[in-house]
Amino acid sequence: MSGRFDLRPGETRLTAPLQMQAELTFIGHIESPWTLSDCPRNLAQARETGQGAILHILPQFRPALEGIGAGDALVLLYWMGHAPRDLLRQVPRHRPDGTGTFSLRSPARPNPIGMGVVRVTGLEPESGILRIDAIDAVGGTALIDIKPHLPRVDDPPDA
Amino acid sequence: MSGRFDLRPGETRLTAPLQMQAELTFIGHIESPWTLSDCPRNLAQARETGQGAILHILPQFRPALEGIGAGDALVLLYWMGHAPRDLLRQVPRHRPDGTGTFSLRSPARPNPIGMGVVRVTGLEPESGILRIDAIDAVGGTALIDIKPHLPRVDDPPDA
């Protein structure tokens, strides 16, 4: 995984292998217009394109969609399996001084889980289809969770 | 995992075993005042207790904390490994009619990942310690990711 990724000056990576301690199951996948070469860098950019996306939920998990309706705000968790997992310090183009992985939203992280807050624009639950306003993930990205977005708990507490 | 959990009337579970398709590494753990019997049900309740918590980051991941400062809002992802993973429809006490797992924030879900938006109240990065305002997780819960909370992407889009 690390072999196909060149470090930029100022970047550092783990020297020991990651120990794996829990397992994920994929609940479906994301159909999006994006490939690795044109994927928006974040959800704000993705929304600006005006392009929606479609979530395809596997048959066995479709009963768990009950209660989701058009207009709902959802938190999606998805698996960015193409990203290197051993970068500790990164130098993204927009942060030329570099900083630690946990202060960045880069897909490169020990557990490459993306999080996106989206709005449901339509749904066919019996077919396992949820249409959403936008996503910053390439087509085919595996979905690992869907949660309702609740402002009372998901807005940051006062500083 | 399902054997130690009794279904309530109206609840349903998966009939086939989960297929595991990706692996997680733990980056540290959460020290909190809570056990399974007194853990707040959500982050709003946890904040109301006035009790803070401490994140302990493993030595190899501490360089990735660079850039995090006191006062920052963070998104934490944590592994609620005690929760059953096969519930599709649930009847929590606050929702007596029941609803689908993906429209609930219950820890019981195919991938039992908790998400909490917290505020950093202090830190000793060289010791791998981040103090936070509150958490709705029992002591010892494994941490899987830390991300900066960015209102521009993490506030829901307009309906």
Check residue A69 and give its pLDDT: 98
User: Does A122 contact chain B (CB < 8 Å)?
Assistant: no
Alpha helix (H) residue ranges in A30-150: 43-49
Check residue B22 and give its pLDDT: 97
Check residue B44 and give its pLDDT: 96
E-assigned strand segments in B11-149: 12-13, 22-24, 28-31, 53-57, 73-79, 87-90, 99-100, 113-124, 129-132, 142-148
Q: Choose the mutation target among B15, B51, B66, B144 for the interface with A, i.e. most A CBs under 10 Å.
A: B66
Check residue B4 and give its pLDDT: 46
Check residue B109 and give its pLDDT: 97
CB contact under 8 A, A47 and B157: yes
pLDDT in tens, B71-116: 999 999 999 999 999 999 999 988 999 999 999 999 999 999 999 9
CB contact under 8 A, A111 and B24: yes
Spatial separation of the C-alpha atoms in residues A80 and A40, rounded to whole Å: 14
Nearest chain A residue (CA) to B81? A22
Check residue B143 and give its pLDDT: 98
Give ipTM to 2 decimals. 0.95
Going from the C-alpha of A154 to that of each of A62, A130, A150, B3, B33, the distances in angstroms are 25, 22, 6, 32, 21
Nearest in space to A110 (alpha carbons), one of B110, B143, B126, B139? B143
Tell me how close the Cα of A119 comes to any Cα of chain B, in angstroms. 7
Around Cβ A97, how many Cβ atoms within 10 Å?
A: 7
Check residue B158 and give its pLDDT: 86
User: Does B50 contact chain A (CB < 8 Å)?
Assistant: no
Check residue B3 and give its pLDDT: 44
Average pLDDT over residues A130-138: 98
CB contact under 8 A, A77 and B119: no
Domains of chain A by start residue, with CATH: 37-150 (2.40.30.70)
Residues in chain B within 8 Å Cβ distance of A70: none
pLDDT in tens, B26-65: 999 999 999 999 999 999 999 999 999 999 999 999 999 9
Spatial separation of the C-alpha atoms in residues A124 and A69, rounded to whole Å: 10
pLDDT in tens, B107-152: 999 999 999 999 999 999 999 999 999 999 999 999 999 999 999 9
Residue A4 has pLDDT above 50, yes or no: no
Residues in chain A within 8 Å Cβ distance of B152: 44
Check residue A48 and give its pLDDT: 97
pLDDT in tens, A32-60: 999 999 999 999 999 999 999 999 999 99
Nearest chain B residue (CA) to A47? B157
Backbone angles phi, psi at A4, to 5 degrees: -95, 20
Residues in chain B within 8 Å Cβ distance of A154: 115, 117, 154
Spatial separation of the C-alpha atoms in residues A119 and B109, rounded to whole Å: 21
Residue B1 has pLDDT above 60, yes or no: no
E-assigned strand segments in B15-65: 22-24, 28-31, 53-57
CB contact under 8 A, A149 and B156: yes
Q: What is the mean pLDDT of chain A?
A: 95
Strand, helix or coil for residue A63: helix
Check residue A6 and give its pLDDT: 84
Check residue A159 and give its pLDDT: 80
Around Cβ A38, how many Cβ atoms within 10 Å?
A: 9
Res. B70 pLDDT band, cuts 50 70 90 = very high
Tokens representing A21 are 């301690």
Chain B, 1 to 20: residues with Cβ < 8 Å from chain A are 12, 14-16, 18-20
pLDDT in tens, A140-153: 999 999 999 999 99
Check residue B29 and give its pLDDT: 98
